[in-house]
Structures are given as structure tokens and as C-alpha cells.
């Protein structure tokens, strides 16, 4: 099993995966989607708290209990998961990553009165309603983590299609609300990490191929300097906290617990860390007590989308498919 996965790790785009490789990839893709939702549900309880406040109230926060400033039910998720699902639905309906379809999906999502919504997301979706342009104006201030938190369906839909397809798709979905170079770089690195983990690469290879180049091009992301506690919604701080937790731990649970106990934007760091750790460790590594607590409908949607997006990715990049039809 391991041998087959390692062989697949070096596969060129377009190489057909064996059934065994496909089932391993489906397992890790599903774990990434469930991990995203679980990290969101766990972290939301302590969003905007400091590590000290978390210690005083919970000791170590490690159970999905709801509450928090949004007064959630146990297992309820927030915008990080619901925007990802909205985007995934749009990709599946369209058969490709399409900026306009994503903008329409996010607009419908906002009309449905989500439990929370980021300022940049709201502002640029309102602009989209006025202009009809699915690409927000470029802004050096729009470096929040709102595009990065919902990148998972893009990573799965473009698996095995090469880095250029991935980068173009990341920018298309990201720019609907966050037209910013740091947001783009974070999205591309995260999506690349998910893809490499799902294809069975080791954590060392994943770091070398994605996190190291991110820091080389944008040194502001350097995550090796000092522990990033209380990470804000600034995508740089989000990525630093997530990568520190991911690379310092060796289980799904330890990774997600580490990052949410840093407080700050804990639902979003939890969601992104849960996504990466799910892709890294697979379904069996997710604690059953967390899976049981997660909202049933959300869990079902995560499972269905993960499978469907992988199936879509196996058809190859969209333009070739359209020409071939």
C-alpha cells in the first residue's frame, strides 16, 4: 500500500492512478474536507480569545462543544466550511473552476444570512452585485485569510493537472473577494500542499515543494522565527500559525488542538490546519468523538463533495475537455 502511494507521489499529470491509489486518494481527500469542518467547529468556540483566556476557561480546548462569540451548537460550522461547500457546489455544477460561478455561489451564500462573514468578503461581494465583475479590484489591504480558508475544493478539482492549472484556478476563485498577492501566494501554497499530501508525498517533500518556495518568494511568511500565538485574520499570521502546528506535531488531533489553542482567528486556523492534517493523515486518524459531533448534513456534504471533486479532477483540465467534447 505504502509502496504504491510513494510511486504515485512522483506521477506526472495525466498518469492514470490504479484503483488502490484512487481509494487512498479518496480517503485523504475526504479526510481533508471533514478535517476542515472539524477544525472550524472546534476552533469557533475560542475564536478571538487569547491563549491565556483559553487556558483559564478550558485548560486545553479539545472538545467540540459549540458556544463562542457566535453561540454555536456543538458541531455547527461557520463561513470557512460553508463557503468551501458553496464553492465546491459551483465547481461541480460548472464542471470547472469558474470565477463567475464562484461569485454567484458566494452571493447566494451571503443572501442566505450565514452565521458569520468576513469584512472583505462582504464588501467585495456587494461590489460584485453592483458591477457584475467577478474579479474584485486589486488591493494591498485585502490580505485577509478569507480566500485561503475556502481553497480546498479548488485543490481537489485540479488534482494531477499541474501547477499552472492549480495557480490559475486559485487566483480565479480568490480574486472574487481577495485580489491580493499575499492571499494568492497563500492559496497556491495551501492547495499545493493538499494535493501533494493526497498523492502520498512525505511531510518533508510537501514542505520543500510548497512552504519553502512560499517563504523564498515572500519572506514575510517565514514561520520558523517565533511561535505565532493569537494569529489575526491577516493571511500571513494565519499561515504561520497553521504551518507551525502542522510541522511540530505528528497526529491529526495534536495538530488541530495545537493551532486552536493559539486563539485569535481560531476557527479559520483550525479549518486550514484540519484540512492539511486530514490530507496528511487520512480518515482513520480523525478522532471518532469529533466525527460524531460534527453536524450530520455538513459531514455528508463534505464526503460527497470530496469524492465528486476527485472524480472531476480525473477528467483533466477543463479547456482540453471542452475541446475534446
Stretch that binds Mn ion, among 110-118, 172-180, 186-194, 294-302 (CB under 5 A): 110-118
- Chain positions 176 to 205 lying near Mn ion, rule: CB under 5 A, are none
SS (H, E, C) the chain: CHHHHHHHHCCCCCCCCCHHHHHHHHHHHHHHHHHHHHHHHHHHHHCCCCHHHHHHHHCCCCCCCCECCCCECCCCCCHHHHHHHHHHHHHHHHCCCCHHHHHHHHHHHHHCCCCCCCHHHHHHHHHHHHHCCCCCCCCCCCCECCCHHHCHHHHHHCCCCCHHHHHHHHHHHHCCCCCCHHHHHHHHHHHHHHHHHHCCCCHHHHHHHHHHHHHHHCHHHCCCCCCCCCCCCEHHHHHHHHHHHHHHCCCHHHHHHHHHCCCCCHHHHHHHHHHHHHHHHCHHHCCHHHHHHCCHHHHHHHHHHHHHHHHHHCCCCHHHHHHHC
Residue with Cβ nearer Mn ion (165 or 186) = 186
Site string for Mn ion, 250-269 (x = CB under 5 A): ---------------x-xx-
Q: Positive or negative, the Cα torsion across 278, 300, 261, 140?
A: positive
- When the beta carbons of 37 and 159 are compared against Mn ion, the nearer one is 37
Nearest-approach distance from CB 323 to Mn ion, in angstroms: 39
The distance of closest approach from Cβ of residue 44 to Mn ion in the complex, given in angstroms and rounded to an integer, is: 6
Shortest Cβ contact with Mn ion: which residue? 78
Q: Which is nearer to Mn ion, 79 or 89 (CB)?
A: 79
Question: What cell numbers appear for 212 in the block?
Answer: 519553502
CB nearer Mn ion, residue 79 or residue 98? 79
Identify whether the C-beta of residue 320 lies closer than 8 Å to the C-beta of residue 165.
no
Tell whether residue 161 is a contact of Mn ion (CB under 5 A): no
Q: Which is nearer to Mn ion, 114 or 213 (CB)?
A: 114
Minimum CB separation from Mn ion for residue 105, in Å?
17
CB nearer Mn ion, residue 30 or residue 76 = 76
User: Could you say which residues in the range 116-155 bind Mn ion, by CB under 5 A?
Assistant: 116
Please, what is the minimum distance in Å from the beta carbon of residue 231 to Mn ion? Answer: 10
| Shortest Å, Cβ 272 to Mn ion | 10
Instruction: State the nearest-atom distance from the C-beta of 267 to Mn ion, in Å.
Output: 4
> Among the candidate windows 109-117, 125-133, 189-197, 208-216, which touches Mn ion by CB under 5 A?
109-117
Which is closer to Mn ion, CB of 232 or CB of 251? 232
Asked whether the beta carbons of 209 and 201 are under 8 A apart, the reply is yes
Shortest gap between Cβ of 79 and Mn ion (angstroms)?
A: 4
Judged by CB under 5 A, how many residues of this single chain contact Mn ion?
7
Q: Which residue, 188 or 260, has its beta carbon nearer to Mn ion?
A: 260
| Residue ranges in 63-92 that form contacts with Mn ion under rule CB under 5 A | 78-80
Of 33 and 281, CB closest to Mn ion: 33
**Residue 35 contacts by C-beta under 8 Å, 6 or more apart in sequence?**
252, 256, 274, 275, 276, 277, 278, 279, 286
Between residue 258 and residue 317, which ones bind Mn ion under the rule CB under 5 A?
265, 267-268
**Residue 242 beta carbon to Mn ion: minimum distance, rounded to whole angstroms:** 12
Report the sign of the C-alpha dihedral through residues 234, 235, 240, 244, in that order.
Answer: positive
Binding site for Mn ion (CB under 5 A): 78-80, 116, 265, 267-268
Amino acid at each position: 500500500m505504502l509502496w504504491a502511494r510513494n510511486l504515485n507521489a512522483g506521477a506526472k499529470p495525466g498518469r492514470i492512478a490504479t484503483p488502490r491509489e484512487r481509494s487512498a486518494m479518496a480517503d485523504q481527500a475526504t479526510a481533508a474536507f471533514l478535517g476542515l469542518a472539524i477544525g472550524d467547529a472546534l476552533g469557533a468556540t475560542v475564536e478571538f480569545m487569547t491563549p491565556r483566556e483559553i487556558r483559564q476557561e478550558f485548560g486545553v480546548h479539545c472538545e467540540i462543544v459549540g458556544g463562542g462569540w457566535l453561540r454555536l451548537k456543538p458541531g455547527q460550522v461557520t463561513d470557512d466550511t460553508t463557503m468551501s461547500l458553496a464553492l465546491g457546489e459551483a465547481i461541480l455544477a460548472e464542471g470547472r473552476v469558474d470565477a463567475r460561478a464562484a461569485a454567484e455561489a458566494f452571493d447566494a451564500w451571503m443572501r442566505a444570512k450565514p452565521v458569520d462573514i468576513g469584512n472583505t468578503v462582504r464588501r467585495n461581494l456587494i461590489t460584485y452585485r453592483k458591477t457584475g465583475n467577478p474579479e474584485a479590484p486589486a488591493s494591498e489591504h485585502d490580505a485577509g485569510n478569507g480566500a485561503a480558508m475556502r481553497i480546498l475544493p479548488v485543490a481537489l478539482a485540479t488534482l494531477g493537472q499541474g501547477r499552472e492549472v492549480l495557480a490559475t484556478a486559485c487566483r480565479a476563485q480568490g480574486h472574487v473577494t481577495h485580489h491580493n498577492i499575499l492571499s494568492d501566494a497563500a492559496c497556491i501554497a495551501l492547495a499545493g500542499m493538499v494535493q501533494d499530501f493526497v498523492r502520498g508525498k512525505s511531510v518533508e517533500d510537501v514542505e520543500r515543494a510548497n512552504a519553502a518556495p512560499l517563504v523564498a518568494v515572500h519572506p514575510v511568511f517565514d514561520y520558523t522565527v517565533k511561535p505565532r500565538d493569537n494569529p489575526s485574520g491577516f493571511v500571513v499570521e494565519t499561515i504561520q500559525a497553521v504551518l507551525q502546528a502542522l510541522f511540530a506535531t505528528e497526529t491529526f488531533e495534536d495538530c488541530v488542538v495545537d493551532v486552536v489553542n493559539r486563539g485569535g482567528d481560531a476557527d479559520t486556523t483550525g479549518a486550514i490546519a484540519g484540512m492539511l492534517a486530514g490530507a496528511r493523515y487520512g480518515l482513520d486518524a480523525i478522532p471518532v468523538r469529533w466525527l460524531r459531533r460534527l453536524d450530520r448534513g455538513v459531514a455528508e456534504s463534505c464526503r460527497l463533495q470530496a469524492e465528486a471533486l476527485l472524480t472531476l479532477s480525473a477528467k483533466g483540465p477543463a479547456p482540453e475537455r471542452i475541446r475534446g467534447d
